Chains A and B, each alone.
Chain A
Amino acid sequence: AQSVTQPDARVTVSEGASLQLRCKYSYSGTPYLFWYVQYPRQGLQLLLKYYSGDPVVQGVNGFEAEFIKSNSSFHLRKASVHWSDSAVYFCAVLITGNTGKLIFGLGTTLQVQP
């Protein structure tokens, strides 16, 4: 079955600390992976994507993610978080050959404390 698991519903970190949000996927085909972010009272925005090639991909605002095929993981990282990073983060996998159907995880709420 196709699925995306984000094991942490909520993560709290202090401003300036490093961050890792975990994501594991289950998909039998070639995984195209995404991280989306949802700021309060807004829609989702694409943070970064992985199609192929270098397993470490860079996104906006200093975020990066690493695709580890052996672990079926696509964790999101940031070296130093800012209070404005507080948001809900969604990991997703694209079901190819199905006109862009994305399977989303349940999301991780990030709270950055000053």
Chain B
Amino acid sequence: GGIITQTPKFLIGQEGQKLTLKCQQNFNHDTMYWYRQDSGKGLRLIYYSITENDLQKGDLSEGYDASREKKSSFSLTVTSAQKNEMAVFLCASSPGTGDTGQLYFGEGSKLTVL
């Protein structure tokens, strides 16, 4: 089996700050995702990547940047954190091009902006 590791698990930032979340997977999966989970709003796709150095925008990409420099890692940057923002960011991976719909998720990174 494999595992997805997200760091940090908890991130506290200030308004306007640039914040970066990291994700590592050892499944050797090609496709990786970043989802944002808000209470009452379900999961929304921010960015995904089907291979190293590939980036595809999801429904919620504004205000975020992503980077896939290696097959095993996928990072997400909040370009300017919004005051009172609180959400959980979930990283996931999937074999192949991801068209099976079978995603493997990390435990999440919880963001709080003061």
| Stretch of A22-30, A62-70, A71-79, A90-98 lying at the B interface | A90-98
Are A99 and B31 in contact, with the CB atoms below 8 A? Answer: yes
Are B101 and A102 in contact, with the CB atoms below 8 A? Answer: yes
Complex alpha-carbon distance, A34 and B90, angstroms? 18
User: Chain A residue with minimal CB distance to B38?
Assistant: A106
| Stretch of B39-47, B60-68, B77-85 lying at the A interface | B39-47
What chain A residues lie within 8 Å of B45 (beta carbons)? 101-102
Complex alpha-carbon distance, A46 and B102, angstroms? 7
B99 interface neighbour in A41, A49, A100, A104, Cβ under 8 Å: A100
Are B105 and A101 in contact, with the CB atoms below 8 A? Answer: no
Are B106 and A43 in contact, with the CB atoms below 8 A? Answer: yes
B94 interface neighbour in A41, A42, A44, A100, Cβ under 8 Å: A100
Complex alpha-carbon distance, A34 and B99, angstroms? 13
With known contacts A99-B97, A104-B42, A44–B103 Cβ distance under 8 A: yes
User: Chain A residue with minimal CB distance to B54?
Assistant: A99
Are A90 and B43 in contact, with the CB atoms below 8 A? Answer: yes
Are B108 and A43 in contact, with the CB atoms below 8 A? Answer: yes
Taking the closest CB of chain A, its distance from the CB of B23, in whole angstroms, is 11
Q: Which residues of A pack against B, CB within 8 Å?
A: 9, 32, 34, 36, 41-46, 49, 90, 92, 94, 96-97, 99-102, 104-107
